[in-house]
A = this chain, B = another copy of it.
Amino acid sequence: MALAAASPKTMSQQSAALLRLRELLLKGAFTAGTRLAEIPLAKRLQVSRTPLRLALVALEHEGLVQEHPTRGYVVRQILRKDIFETIEIRGMLEGMAARLAVERADREFLGLGNLRRSVNAIEIALKTIDTDTAGAFNTYIEQNQLFHQHLIALAGSQTLAREIDRITGRPFAAPSSGFISAQVDLPRSRHVLRMGHDQHVAIVEALERREAARVETLMREHARLARLNLEIALDENVRTASVPMLRLIRNGEAA
């Protein structure tokens, strides 16, 4: 076999399976609860069953699939509740990161420049939001991601960074370009961008002043924008055709 045509370098089959399967899951290619039969899935991903198995174990720890008691793995269903809680957890962790950044007295915030750059870029983009809505959204998503990355780096905690990474990978836990840009047309979503920007400004200010408790609270609240976004999307019935991942969401209790 070894038809590694698609991979640029020599990527292990396991990584290939992991990446491709994760992408499929996040794209919502399966409905919640679907059994992931190994043989057809292996064929689809162009790997054999062994590396696929390894990928499934990894994805279980990422919370995207679930071990079926008697039979392999199934696509994990995502309850709204789960998403909201995950967002809240992300807020806690990023809040902690912001606090740690302040508490590290050793560095003189050399990294604040990066944060300011992102904030400025968003500020400029937002001025043209009515004429170039898509562009403003794209800039926001891009620079927002950088903002968060830099802030987490400032915390100087490898451990925390890892955890945030894990959480952020969960569906809808953090703004993803595919999801957000589906909402470009909604006025309410535009307003969310402005709110996010204003929060960024406040966060940078709090960091400058070394206001640890404040910046922690601000980051927590900032994370909750993801919740607001999701609620808007569900309210407005964003067509699931453009965001098939939405189909994974269930309202009620666990089924």
Between A58, A82, A163, the greatest number of chain B beta carbons within 10 A of the residue's beta carbon is seen for: A163
> Given B69, B85, B162, which contacts A63 in the complex, CB threshold below 8 Å?
B162
A87-95, A115-123, A138-146, A201-209: which one contacts chain B?
A87-95
Q: CB of A71 within 8 A of chain B?
A: no
Chain A residues touching B, majority SS: helix
| CB-nearest residue of chain B to A53 | B54
CB < 8 Å neighbour of A159 from B61, B62, B85, B162: B85
Complex Cα spacing A93 to B88, Å: 10
A61 adjacent to B63 (CB under 8 Å): no
A149 located at the interface, meaning its Cβ lies under 8 Å from any Cβ of chain B in the complex: no
B-chain residues with CB within 8 Å of residue A240 when the two chains form the complex: none
Please name 24 pairs of A and B residues whose Cβ atoms are closer than 8 Å in the assembled complex, sorted by A. Answer: A7-B69, A50-B50, A53-B54, A57-B57, A57-B58, A61-B61, A63-B162, A81-B157, A81-B159, A82-B158, A82-B159, A85-B157, A85-B159, A86-B159, A88-B96, A89-B93, A89-B96, A89-B159, A89-B160, A89-B163, A92-B93, A92-B95, A92-B96, A163-B167
